[in-house]
Amino acid sequence: MFAITRCLPFVVLAAVLSIELSPAHTLYTGSLLSPAPALAAVTMGPFGSAGVALLAAAICGITAAHNDAWGSEVVYANLLALVVVAVASVATSAVRVRRDRELAHIRRIAEVSQNVVLRPLPARMGVVNTASVYMAAERGAQIGGDLYEAMSTRYGVRLIVGDVRGKGLAAVRSAAAVVGAFREAVHYEQDLAEVMHRCASALGREYELLDRSQFQDPQELEEQFVTVLLAQVSEESLVHLINRGHPPPLVMRGRKVRSLDPVRPLPPLGLEDFLAPPPIRVETFPFLPGDRLLLHTDGVVEARNHCNEFFPLHRTMETLDGATPSEYLDGLRHALVRHTEGRLSDDAAMVLIERVIGGAGRPVL
């Protein structure tokens, strides 16, 4: 389609030239020359638009001389209209090219930001194989309020998945604060609950630095919070979880999928001033060799189709095949895209880990 649009100005000019130099020159085609520079401005830069304008002026002169029309009001009117449209087209194309360059620069910055907060996970970490995927709801966006990370430590493989309420720069800063605290704490805090405390403290400090002026409604600031799920997989055939208001993970054993719901629900991070959380308890569930564990954000389970039906995550997981976590997660992503017809209402992040059968990996210290 882009190539066709790019060739359209030349097709118009060629048609005008052919008609004017043929016996059909009685047709009035001079007015078709003026739109040519405007069409060129859609896909070409200022130099390309100016070149098309000059070519159209040359064709106007050739056809006028061929038909002995020089000096007529029609020819002068066509040239005047061509000059006006050409000037406007060159200016418009210059603005468009500058904006395209600025957009490309912003996208490169977004990619760098994504690699900081949502960097791809390695295929193998300690005793698990891993895979991850992030899907932005806004077309063209690279990063939002979702976060995830996995680290191989002396205490085992530790993971975090979270979702910041809200969008924009404030959400990205909150996500970066939580992920940064997690990356630091997992190597030094043996207790998983202390890792969660460190993440909560980092988020609290970030909220203190927020620019209050960017919130039109003061209540929006009071409702800022982050749902977080921490997981730890060590040499034992267990997974340790702390869930702060996040969608529970799903464990798949064979073809059966089960939700690991928290026994004692905890409020999200950032709501401590309104909902005093009870003492954090690490909950433990079996995680046997060959089991797969899916950590996800609510953008997955709350995705709807045109009939307003939620994405059937449990049923979809039980029907998918995939030899590796990466292949399985790719199939799950395609199923989600098909269900929503490519129109997500919220960002969606998924992390899949598979307990290795026979043998343990070496942790990175």
Which CATH number does the domain housing residue 306 bear?
3.60.40.10
pLDDT at 30 over 90: no
Pair 231, 239: CB distance under 8 Å:
yes
Cα–Cα distances (Å) from 232 to 102, 229, 239, 283, 338, in that order, read: 42, 10, 6, 10, 32
The Cβ-side half-sphere exposure at 276, using a 13 Å CA radius, reads 1
pLDDT at 58 over 90: no
Same domain, 53 and 198: no
Lowest mean pLDDT among 20-24, 145-149, 257-261, 264-268: 20-24
Same domain, 175 and 32: no
Q: For residues 99-117, give the mean pLDDT.
A: 73
Last residue of a domain, one of 84, 109, 134: 109
Same domain, 211 and 323: yes
pLDDT bucket at 272, cuts 50 / 70 / 90: confident
Averaged pLDDT of the chain: 82
Cα–Cα nearest to 72, from 38, 34, 28, 37: 28
Q: What pLDDT does 259 receive?
A: 95
- Is 360 within a domain? no
Same domain, 102 and 139: no
pLDDT at 16 over 80: no
Q: What pLDDT does 334 receive?
A: 93
Q: How many domains does the chain have?
A: 2
Phi, then psi, of 247 in degrees rounded to 5: -55, 135
**Coarse DSSP helix, strand, coil percentages of the chain, rounded to the nearest 5 percent:** 45, 20, 35
Q: What pLDDT does 358 receive?
A: 63
Lowest mean pLDDT among 1-10, 306-315, 354-363: 354-363
Same domain, 132 and 103: no
Using one digit for the tens of pLDDT, what is the confidence trace for 235-267?
A: 889 999 999 999 999 999 988 999 999 988 899
**Sheet with 156-164: strands ordered across:** 146-153, 156-164, 226-233, 238-244, 283-286
The model's pTM is 0.71
- Is 115 within a domain? no
* Full residue range of the structural domain in which residue 135 is found: 121-355
Cα–Cα nearest to 61, from 15, 7, 23, 16: 16
pLDDT greater at residue 254 or residue 210? 254
pLDDT greater at residue 215 or residue 85? 85
